[in-house]
């Protein structure tokens, strides 16, 4: 997914997320989240939301974890600059707003 300022952010089955400079391919950040990453979204003010099979994490611009929701996720979609929708294991949807962090 494309992040702010020409940054590409990826997440994988190995539980890692990584950010790269889109123009040069140079790695910028990487972080282990502990479980398979199933979705990523960037909210306003640079908040990164990472959905994993064991929970949904909110990370600040330095990728420090600022929030956690114990929702085993199957997917994640950004609704607008403040909200995401999470697809749960039981096929229900759960909306999270940035101020819940």
The Cα 19–Cα 70 span in angstroms is: 24
Q: Classify domain 7-100 at the CATH topology level.
A: Thrombin, subunit H (2.40.10)
> Domain extents for the chain?
7-100
Residues 71-101: pLDDT tens digits? 999 999 999 999 999 999 999 999 998 765 4
User: What does the pLDDT average to over 7-24?
Assistant: 95
Q: Given pLDDT bands bounded at 50, 70 and 90, which one contains residue 2?
A: low
Encoded tokens for 5: 């300022």
Residues 60-69: pLDDT tens digits? 989 999 999 9
In 10 A of CB 27, how many CB atoms? 10
């Amino acid at each position: 997914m494309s992040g702010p300022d020409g940054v590409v952010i990826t997440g994988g089955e190995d539980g890692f997320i990584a950010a790269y400079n889109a123009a040069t391919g140079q790695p910028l950040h990487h972080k282990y989240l502990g479980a398979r990453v199933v979705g990523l979204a960037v909210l306003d003010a640079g908040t990164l939301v990472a959905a994993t099979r064991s929970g949904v994490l909110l990370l600040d611009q330095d990728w420090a974890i600022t929030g956690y929701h114990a929702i085993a996720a199957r997917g994640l979609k950004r609704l607008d600059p403040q909200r995401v929708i999470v697809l749960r294991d039981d096929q229900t949807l759960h909306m999270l707003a940035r101020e819940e962090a």
